[in-house]
Amino acid sequence: MKAYIFPGQGAQFTGMGKDLYNSSEKARALFHQANDILGFDISKIMFEGSAADLKETKVTQPAVFLHSVILSKVLGTSFQPDMVAGHSLGEFSALVANGTLEFEDALRLVHKRALAMQRACEINPSTMAAVIGLEDKVVEDVCKTIEGIVVPANYNCPEQLVISGTHHAVEKACEALKEKGAKRAMMLPVGGAFHSPLMESAREELAKAIESTPFQTPKCPVYQNVTTTAVSDPEEIKINLIKQLTAPVKWTQTMRQMLADGATDFTEVGPGKVLQGLLKKVDRQVTAESISGL
């Protein structure tokens, strides 16, 4: 069975999507449509902007989404997924890929999500840290002992977990995790505590937008970050997508579930090769490739 996976924030790079724009009339039309929907020339920023330009949340999220979705649309008949999944933001790309969401509706949701998350970061200054070399249970237990808000946010692969919370709590957790034997526990250059209770205001904003957006029955199941299991019911997909902002991304568990359900080939669609690398740490034998351009 063919599984397609879609990257999230952090995969962006200067020049992303330019080859698609230059080589495909369909891609050009979609980029122009995106510029109109967003109200600014995102394609110009993607093709010519600096790394700093691309790091702006209002740019990063739609840029990564557009690269993945437009690429999947121009692959034509070769794009035949049996199952899909996306890492955090990438879940929106996955939902366009399997027909749950229309391109325009998903882009509007991604834009609203980015702005809502930015506002939440301003309301509650916060951060994230990557923890390498410890079992998930150890990280979970340490987080519970720390005063303040710090929680597991991204289960990326075995012995690689990102924690999220207030600055003080995350710093204290990093100290405690190093004492427990973590190879690394390092603060990340991010604007806030994504996938934590500190994103509650963003979750509420996004919930309203999601509830008013049409979701169709998908062509194939999506393995969602919150449940890790195959979901095909549009209402259930909505609920999980809303929960995602304040819940952890269970990527390790999701990859294991896709493999258990019969996935034999994985293709990462979009910028970078991060997900392919994470997948290989879950199962070294799995067949995986990345497509970032035509």
Enumerate the active-site residues.
Answer: 88, 195
With beta carbons less than 8 A apart as the criterion, state whether 195 and 203 touch: no
Helix and strand numbers, DSSP H then E, in the chain: 13, 10
With beta carbons less than 8 A apart as the criterion, state whether 202 and 116 touch: yes
Neighbours of 260 (CB within 10 A): 8
Q: Round to whole Å and give the CA distance between 270 and 90.
A: 9
Neighbours of 76 (CB within 10 A): 10
Q: Round to whole Å and give the CA distance between 94 and 85.
A: 6
Strands (E), 103-242: 127-132, 150-157, 160-165, 184-187, 222-223, 230-231
Strand, coil or helix: 151: strand
For residue 29, with 0-12 CB atoms within 10 Å meaning exposed, 13-18 middle and 19 or more buried, which class applies?
Answer: exposed
